[in-house]
Amino acid sequence: MTSTDGVPAGAGRHHSGTARHLLTLADLTAADLDRLVERGCAIAAEVRAGDPALAGILRGRVAGVYFTRTSTRTRTAFSSAALRLGAGLIAYGPGDLQLNTGETIEDTGRVLSGMLDVLVVRTAGPVAEMAALAAQRRMAVVNAMSAEEHPTQALADLTTLRARFGALPGLRVLYVGEGNNTATALSLALTRYPGTELHLRTPPGYGLPPATALKAKEYGAASGALLVERHDMAQLPQRVDAVYTTRWQTTGTTKPDPDWRAAFAPFQVNETLMDRYPDALFLHDLPAHRGEEVTAGVLDGPRSVAFEQAENKLYSAMAVLERAAGGDRW
Ligand code: CP
C-alpha cells in the first residue's frame, strides 16, 4: 500500500505522515504524555484482568529491540510488551548490525524502516544517533535510554505515581542523586503537570544539564509546576509525597574524578532522610546498590515502590508500543 505522498504506509506512521517517534519527552505534548501515563495505568488493569483483547492490538506488526548496553528491565519490558500485544519481535545485540562494519546509521534506519514498525533502541550515545535512525518516515524509533535522557523510565515513574496517588497534579517529589538521564526525563515529565514540585538535590558538579533545567522550568512556567535544584542537603522541603534516587554509577558511564564518592556520600537516601517524610513513598529506577545511594532498609522497606515501578515499565512500554506501532486507539 502506498500513501498519497508516495511513501509506503508503514504501520508506525501517524496520519500526519510522520512516524510516532519517542526520542525525548520534548517530542510529546503535555496531553500526549498524560495519555501515555493514563494508558499505562489502564493496561496494567487489563493485563491483571487477563483481557484477551490486548493480544490483538499489534497483531501483524513487527518490533525490533536494539540494545548496545546492558539492561534487565527496559529490554525485557519492551520485548514482553511487544509479545503481549501480539507483535512479532526481533532482538539485536551490540554486535549484530552492519553498523559495526561501517554502514551508516541513516542507511540502517532506512533499511529497517521497510521491515519493522518500531525500533526500540538503547545506546550510550547521544539522542542524535537515534534521531539519525529516525530520519525516515515509516518506522517509529523509541529511546530506551541514551546518554542524555531515559524517557521511558519517566513514563514508568509517572505511571507508578499516578497509580499510587490517583492523580499527578500537585504531587511533590524530592529527587536525591546525580542529575543523570533518569533525572532529566523525570524533570521534563513532572513539570508538565500543574502544581507539581520537583526538588532536586544533586552533588556539586553532577547536576542537571543546564539545557534540561531551562526546558523543565519553561514547562513549569506554562503549567504552574516548580523545579528547584540545590547541590547540598540543606533547606530540604517541608513536605514531599515521594523521595526518588538512582544508582550513583549510571549505566554506560564512568566518572573521571577518582574522588566522586566523597561528593555523593551526603546524598544517600537512608532512614534519617525518610524519617523527615513519614508519609512519603520511596522510588528507585533500579538497578540499586544497597549501602550506596540507598540503604537496604529503605529499598526493601514498606514505603518502597521500586519493584512496582519496575513492573510498571512493562505497562508503560505497552502504551508506548501501542502508540508507536500504530494501534487504532492512537
Ligand atoms: N531502570 C532501567 O532502565 O533498568 P535497566 O537498565 O535494567 O533497563
C-alpha 248/C-alpha 294 separation (Å) is 10
The model's pTM is 0.94
Interhelix angle 30-48/306-324, rounded to 10 degrees, is 110
Q: Is 100 in the pocket of ligand 1 (CB under 6 A)?
A: no
pLDDT for 5: 37
Cell of 31: 496531553
* In a shared domain, residues 177 and 293: yes
* In a shared domain, residues 184 and 56: no
- Give percent above pLDDT 90 in the chain: 88
* In a shared domain, residues 257 and 161: yes
* Cα-to-chain-centroid distance, residue 25: 9
* In a shared domain, residues 134 and 181: no
pLDDT beyond 50 at 326: yes
In angstroms, the first-to-last Cα distance of the chain is 20
- The predicted-structure confidence for 8-25, as pLDDT tens digits, reads as follows 444 444 444 568 999 999
- The predicted-structure confidence for 229-253, as pLDDT tens digits, reads as follows 999 999 999 999 999 999 998 777 7
Q: Is 72 in the pocket of ligand 1 (CB under 6 A)?
A: yes
- The predicted-structure confidence for 207-229, as pLDDT tens digits, reads as follows 999 999 999 999 999 999 999 99
Q: Which residues pair with 230 in a beta bridge?
A: 201
pLDDT beyond 60 at 321: yes
- The predicted-structure confidence for 36-87, as pLDDT tens digits, reads as follows 999 999 999 999 999 999 999 999 999 999 999 999 999 999 999 999 999 9
Assign residue 92 a region: left if phi > 0, alpha if psi is -120 to 50, beta otherwise? beta
Is the separation of the CB atoms in 47 and 54 below 8 Å? yes
Exposure string over 8-26, b if 16+ CB within 10 A, otherwise e: eebbbbeeeeebbbbbbbe
* In a shared domain, residues 144 and 133: yes
The enclosing domain of 288 has a CATH number of 3.40.50.1370
Q: Which domain holds residue 253?
A: 151-310
Q: Is 208 inside a domain boundary?
A: yes
The H or E element spanning position 226 is strand 226-230
Query: Which among 65, 72, 155 is the best mutation to test ligand 1's pocket, defined by most ligand atoms within 8 Å of the CB?
Result: 72
* In a shared domain, residues 172 and 239: yes
Cell of 181: 538521564
Query: Which among 142, 145, 299 is the best mutation to test ligand 1's pocket, defined by most ligand atoms within 8 Å of the CB?
Result: 145
Domain end, chosen from 148, 175, 209, is at: 148
Across 165-179, average pLDDT:
98
**6 burial via Cβ count (<10 Å: 0-12, 13-18, 19+):** exposed
Domain end, chosen from 97, 131, 148, is at: 148
Q: Is 5 inside a domain boundary?
A: no
Specify the amino acid at residue 117.
D
* In a shared domain, residues 136 and 284: no
Please give the DSSP secondary-structure letter assigned to residue 100. G
* In a shared domain, residues 140 and 261: no
DSSP characters for 264-290? HGGG-B-HHHHHT-TT-EEEE-S---B
* In a shared domain, residues 203 and 110: no
Q: Is 146 in the pocket of ligand 1 (CB under 6 A)?
A: no
C-alpha 78/C-alpha 295 separation (Å) is 29
pLDDT beyond 70 at 167: yes
* In a shared domain, residues 128 and 195: no
